[in-house]
Structure 1
């Protein structure tokens, strides 16, 4: 946080953050941070305390209250959303209340739009909790009323907890991922830029883009902040504000490519388009590279360990590499292990991707079983299946929990999905395993047909058999108008599995 404050001291009269309701100058942001820190310190907030934040989607308040709390050595947790791609839709009261209760937050900071909701949440807790806002005129703690002196340097332990990030991921139940000051600072350091970047923020500041925003401010850059991603507004913002960097979820690139005004919008200022969340379709990447130029950077990582691998600008011009997620990033070490034996597998063999990095989480909050399963020694077991080629490029295959074992042989649903999606009638496809009455795992596929297209179940089975093997051909096909998604565009296979088993009565 000291790096952000130092950068804000330079060119104090320049605007540093723009968003839909206005703009903040560097001096104003500096004052907001130190004032909030002063007030929080006066409330006894420091190491061992947790400050919860509830604000409008991508409100700048999310940044300066986090900076203030972290300056004092306190932990921060965001309540608005567990979605890494969009926080436009807020969590319901009961889930926000559960996070407040579980983290034992000492104080809840809200923006004016959430004053009443904040009061309601605090009243529902079984213990007293302070509530604050960055505005006068409310009968609560005023974060704008603090002193203007920079808080004294505190001896904050590098391994102390800086942030708890709740994310739904692919397992359904939100999990609290604890990151230390050391891990957070490592994430920021990997994104520092020598240029004074102008970054457009559209994904949640509570998740991946948070450390990137910190790095931009520390490097002397500026932020243009939107509540969410809407391709037309994004195009206008890039052109109007001469945006040089963005970070998007992979499906958002597709939305931009399909927008009718893309060809007529001036995007010449854009230097870096970072993307991640789910593996990208190579054909769409090639389209993006041809349309947007050499600006693409794919970032493969998880909230638990920050960036694992990166596919750089130059790699996007190599058709062979577009199916990969790149080479190891920063100080990340990658090994691929047999998920059954734990032994490292040779190049080209599929196994579980395991990572060692300074950016690793310290634990899953109050979940020692999950922590012990995923964090073994210095290695984090991602649950992703993939392989390394002989040049060190990493390729994703599927999630370990999605692997289907049929007759002693592994079937990877993502590979079957790719085959189904080459069929001219298929718009969307999701493949998953379901146990039948004899406890044999069968291959099921949920599909969405393109408009005015028709296909028979047997013809699709034959299509997969001919291009793969008989064991890959789906035993059962389910037709949908649209497939449910979670997070960064990931298909919600747990929901599909539940729906299928509840209808069929299959064991699961």
Structure 2
């Protein structure tokens, strides 16, 4: 796209072709393309004018109910005016109901130097409390008239701001998303306008017109998918969280063509008793992200949904890395991979001496692409350790096979040294998931008082399953080897999940240690 255009102006240009088309639906409300454009341009004008006309000097934190239209409108308006957006609602990429605590929100405001806090009515009281506690000037703003102490962003003239006159350096942060990662401590990950503008190009070049059902929080990857869907000339249906029964109803009711899910959510959807009686014929893209999926369960999913599955391997820091296409899901040999990265995007390096490894050798996955993060907020040392010579060191272990497909083997810190060998948990997890009674599995390390490492597993069984820890242990013994059998196998009704939708192995290990 031209250097003076942003992804927002491109979206608005695409949807202007059908001004009366409903492009956003949420909580029984709708916005047409014309209404969305007016809101975005009015808010951008007010924000730009209130900030003194400075090109992007503002930092706008957004505290709204995540999966509602204001979350998108406010981000679009701020970015159109050249401001940086900070999502303040949650660090959870899967559950929009998982809120950041007030102290964590205060920390984010201070770290990012936020000058505006954009809110909705449901979060106004929390926003006022944060403003009082912050100790530095903070302007509250909203898309509604919420009182004399809140700037009404809809008061601006939508035709008064010419986005082409707003100079936005491509390396300016466009969006800062906080993630809890594996440590639990929120980290701000900044993506610049160059990365955000580049991502939208895919939607501009594709011929689809998707109807996207957004269940995952718009503050994370689901927001980028919403952007891409609008840029395709499509529409977005917003839902506050994931419920498999309601999702199935919405697919049929709205003619949903596109979804973004975590693998555990995909399993819940395909195992729901109403899935066989639901018309799924509208679906063309069911994308799953967040953690590796079971090859066996993917085989079942292909039978349920058809050739519409797309696996995307991405990380919070590296962005999009690789993809396994619908056609590739039909080949059982490829379902054990996460697809092929773009040429030149991925290196596999030795975690200790950082030398490049040959195909088939397992090492750290390092990524350099147009979509990687620019920096961690207020963490220069962590940024320097993570991004080296333009390569993002993901902390994921994997290898590239002779055909160029990427295989993941878990995290560097998850490798368990037990029974005289190094065990990659994902290998044992996939073996568990090959058992007909197992629907979810997590394999993790538990250290005893002498710091000796032991392999443990937590599994969720199908309803009325007959498997026991002993029969599952025998299954692993035969499927892999006796040394891969966990010291303990815990059967649970459900697995706890992290903010990115992965099994919370730290919690599982803590519970097992107790």
- The two structures have a TM-score, normalised by structure 2, of 0.90
1:210 matched to which residue of 2?
A: 223
Distance 1:95 1:109 in 2: 17
Distance 1:258 1:469 in 2: 30
Change (3 A) 1:468 1:236: closer
Q: 1:191 touches 1:212 (CA, 8 Å); kept in 2?
A: no
2:175 matched to which residue of 1?
A: 163
Q: 1:278 touches 1:489 (CA, 8 Å); kept in 2?
A: yes
Distance 1:78 1:30 in 2: 21
1:231 counterpart (230, 244, 249):
244
1:177 matched to which residue of 2?
A: 189
1:377 matched to which residue of 2?
A: 389
2:285 counterpart (269, 272, 279):
272
- The two structures have a TM-score, normalised by structure 1, of 0.91
Change (3 A) 1:282 1:452: closer
Change (3 A) 1:483 1:369: same
3-state DSSP of counterpart to 2:334: helix
1:427 deviation in Å?
A: 6.0
2:76 matched to which residue of 1?
A: 67
1:78 matched to which residue of 2?
A: 87
Q: 2:55 touches 2:167 (CA, 8 Å); kept in 1?
A: no
3-state DSSP of counterpart to 1:486: coil
Distance 1:258 1:461 in 2: 25
Distance 1:110 1:277 in 2: 28
Q: 1:177 touches 1:361 (CA, 8 Å); kept in 2?
A: yes
Change (3 A) 1:134 1:262: same
Distance 1:151 1:111 in 2: 24
Distance 1:427 1:258 in 2: 9
1:493 counterpart (491, 505, 512):
505
Q: 1:202 touches 1:228 (CA, 8 Å); kept in 2?
A: yes
1:332 deviation in Å?
A: 6.0
3-state DSSP of counterpart to 1:63: helix
Which residues of structure 1 form unaligned runs of 5+? 504-508
Change (3 A) 1:473 1:13: closer
Equivalences, count: 500
1:133 matched to which residue of 2?
A: 142
1:91 matched to which residue of 2?
A: 100
Q: 1:109 touches 1:131 (CA, 8 Å); kept in 2?
A: yes
Alignment of 1:50-65 (within 5 A): 50-65=59-74
- What is the CA deviation profile of residues 1-51 of structure 1, one whole-angstrom value per residue up to 9, with x for unaligned ones? 110221232221222111123111111111101111111112216424210
Change (3 A) 1:370 1:500: farther
- What is the CA deviation profile of residues 356-407 of structure 1, one whole-angstrom value per residue up to 9, with x for unaligned ones? 1011101111112321222111211111111111111111111111012348
1:420 deviation in Å?
A: 4.2
Distance 1:406 1:252 in 2: 32
Distance 1:430 1:226 in 2: 28
Alignment of 1:429-468 (within 5 A): 429-446=441-458, 455=468, 464-468=476-480
Matched, 1:145 2:155: yes
1:238 deviation in Å?
A: 1.8
Distance 2:300 2:473 in 1: 30
2:301 counterpart (277, 283, 288):
288
1:240 deviation in Å?
A: 2.0
Which residues of structure 2 form unaligned runs of 5+? 1-7
Matched, 1:242 2:249: no
Distance 2:339 2:87 in 1: 31
2:4 matched to which residue of 1?
A: none
